Amino acid sequence: MIDKSAFHSLSYGMYVIGTRSEGKDFGCVANTFAQVTSSPLQVSVALNKENATTAALRAAGRFTASCLSEDASMELIGTFGFHSSTELDKFAQHACARDAAGMPYVAEACCAWFSAKVTGELDLGTHVLFIGEVEESQKVEGAVSPMTYSFYHQVKGGKTPPKASSYLGDEQLVPASTSAGEGGEGESAAAPKVGWRCTICGHIEYVDELPDDFECPICGVGKEMFERVEL
């Protein structure tokens, strides 16, 4: 028996993995970046085989990892986590910089960044585990605490994309707690019985209808990419 809820107790960070191939920048969000040895200093990251960043990283043979801080906006996470680098120049949407090898990394809401050269890889079925030796690293002075995956879910209200290593299937639809209105009476009794779920990132809006000009606050897609769900 496998209790999937046990996996929610595992601790992760939030990182943007960056690389550059054939004159184009690629990047995606990952929560699997980690140090694996200290001598030499080596790190690893698992990426979905379907990600454009995965193929670009393999071709480049090197990558960066930007450690996101707790003040990272959902727009930044949405850019790198719910769009394809083949359709959007992600690094052009936010402040970025480059390492000595020309690989891009996020320079906003970042508390540290690393640059690594790939030394090996392991096929994991749906994902590829890349091992890299760190050639550059820097801590950003004055940055707030690193964002954990738990903080992303519980405080930011973030969702897990289907291609993520930690994706465990449909997340439970639990309406956000309602606040008291101007008259001081709670609105829970009047909470909507339907919602709208983004088919791209899984974000849910707890309203009866979405306005025509509505855009997902997580990944930025329009109303046409939402589906009606019963609560």
pLDDT at 172: 44
Q: Whats the size of the chain, residue-wise?
A: 231
Kindly give the parts of the chain with pLDDT less than 50: 171-189
pLDDT at 176: 41
Give 119-163 pLDDT, tens digit per residue. Answer: 999 999 999 999 999 999 999 999 999 999 888 878 877 777 777
Task: Give the C-alpha separation, 196 to 200, whole Å.
Answer: 12
pLDDT at 96: 97
> Exposed (0-12), middle (13-18) or buried (19+): which is 52, by Cβ within 10 Å?
middle
End-to-end Cα spacing for the chain: 28
Q: Could you give phi then psi for residue 213, rounded to 5 degrees?
A: -95, 15
pLDDT at 21: 97
Task: Give the C-alpha separation, 147 to 209, whole Å.
Answer: 33
Q: Which residues contact residue 125 at a Cβ distance below 8 angstroms, ignoring those fewer than 6 apart? A: none
Task: Give the C-alpha separation, 107 to 90, whole Å.
Answer: 13
pLDDT at 159: 72
Q: Strands 127-139 and 34-38, how do they pair?
A: unpaired
DSSP 56-116: HHHHHTEEEEEEEBTT--HHHHHHHHSS-TTT--GGGGS-EEE-TTS-EEE-SSEEEEEEE
β-sheet bridge partners, residue 137 = 114
Return the amino acid letter for 166: S
pLDDT at 152: 85
CA 127 to chain centre: 16
Is the distance from CB of 183 to CB of 197 less than 8 angstroms? no
In this structure, what token pair is assigned to residue 59? 């071709």
Predicted model pTM? 0.79
pLDDT at 31: 93
